[in-house]
Structure formats: structure tokens, C-alpha cells
Amino acid sequence: MSEGGRRMGILDGKVVVIVGGTSGLGLSAVRACTGAGARVVATGRDASKAGAVEAMFAGNVRGWVGDACEAGSAEGAMGVAMEAWGRLDALYHVAGGSGRRHGDGPLHALTEEGWDKTLDWNLRSVFLSNRAAVRVFREQGCGGVVLNCGSVLGCSPSPRHFTTHAYAASKAAIVGLTRSAAATYAAEGIRFNVVAPGLVATPMSARAQSDEAIVRFIRAKQPLDGGRMGRPEDLDGAVTWLLSDASRFVTGQVIAVDGGWTVSEGLTEGGA
């Protein structure tokens, strides 16, 4: 379908804020959303990356520099959207991180610093962005969409290779927050969902990508497409659909994009 000779996309005319949109999964989502017709504010902590993303997309993207864990950062990004395009239609929260270097690990060894850092990055930041979005949507009075990025580790543990219990707790908590909010705001037309990736090759998963035992494990644990780690673009179809009106009757759901992780044993010939 076209309008004035222009092909219409699934997000045509929508305004989306992507928190954590300057690298990895977020940058791939920026590319997919703009390709589907959206205008995007992409946030990140690195000014050079934010500027590069803005320059990459010919007026359809604004970069915003801010720490997702700080109150006011999400509001600032949404203010940019309002100033540039007059409204906000959707939020996709991707920002987060591993607290392994700060002491995240198995419960008996998990440090207070590891716990605090991991929950700040992966849960406090989600709370702040989701709260900011809901306030804008309610003020606009015409509904909206919140999509949070979780992880299969929030519901499908891997005790041999991925024993970071603060990370798993933070991703499980995202599901609880998202579903509770979905129930509360459905009558106002505000939808909340979670996309839960398996292991994806991004800068955050560099440790796993370089570990041959994990690579072998993933061949069995994520058996789709020959058995491999995910790529950022593997999530893009689900993300654009969940942000769009095509999913207008979907809320409170967790969509796993995991190559089969949650339905596979992950056993290799050697039992690893």
C-alpha cells in the first residue's frame, strides 16, 4: 500500500523513543523502526554514538545523551520527541547491562555491589523510562505502547554457563512490572509487553562469544537456523510488530525471540 507513491510501513508516522538505541539491539531497532516509517529518539550515554546515530538516518532520528539510571533522562528524551514531532506513540527500553565485573554471580558469591549495580542498570532504568512514558501517554489521552527488553534468563535458567542471579532477578522483575502495568493501564489504551531474547551477539555478550564451551552449548540450546547465537536484527520483526497498531489487541505478554532456547535442553554430545 502506498500514499503519494510512497510505500507505507508498519510504523508509518509513529514517534518512538528507544532507550539504549545507540548500539547492539537498540541500534538495530532504530534501523528497523525508521525503515518501517517511524521517527525515533535514540538515547545512550556516549555523545559520539548518539551523534553518529542521528547523522545516520537523515532527519528521522534524534540522538539524546543521558544515563538511563538517572531520573530525568527519559523525560528529556521524550521532550525531544515532543519538540521535534509533537507527540510520543511508543517506548522501547533496551538499555541494561551485566553486573558480572561488579560481583554478580551465584547467590552464595553475589556481592552487594553486584546486586545494586545490576538492578540499577536493568530494573531501575526500566522503572524510570516506563513511568515517564505512562505520564506522557496519559497526558496525551490517546494510548501508547511500552515494550521492555527482558531475557530468557528471567524464566529459563542456565546454571552451567550463565549463573548471574542478580541479572536473572532483574529480568524476571521486568516481567512482573510489565504485566502489572499492562493490567492497570489497559482501559486507557496503554499496552505493555516484553520481548525476551536468547543469547545474542552484541558487545555485552563478548565473554560468551569467546567461550568455545558456550558456543557449543548454544548450537544445541538455540537450534533454529542451524544452531547459533542470535543477531540483533533477529528481534526486529517482533519489536516493530509489538510497537505497531498491528498488535493493538496484545498486552501483558512476553514474546521470546530465542532460537528455541526455552524449549531445548541444550545438551551436547559430551553432556555439556
Catalytic residue IDs:
167
Q: How many of the other CB atoms lie within 10 Å of CB of 233?
A: 13
Report d(CA 179, CA 253) in Å as an integer: 7
Q: Which helix (H) or strand (E) holds 197?
A: strand 190-197
Backbone angles phi, psi at 142, to 5 degrees: -130, 30
**Residues 6+ away with beta carbon under 8 Å from 154:** 168, 170, 171, 172, 173, 174, 175, 196
DSSP 159-176: TTT---HHHHHHHHHHHH
C-alpha cell recorded at residue 21:
538505541
Query: Which residues have a Cβ under 8 Å from the Cβ of 8 and sit 6 or more positions away?
Result: 1, 2, 37
Residue type (1 letter), 195: V
Residue 192, SS3? Answer: strand
The full DSSP string for 45-60 is S-HHHHHHHHHHTTTS
Sequence-distant (≥ 6) Cβ neighbours of residue 117 within 8 angstroms: 99, 102, 104
Which helix (H) or strand (E) segment holds residue 182: the answer is helix 165-185
Contact between 213 and 161 under an 8 Å Cβ cutoff? The reply is yes
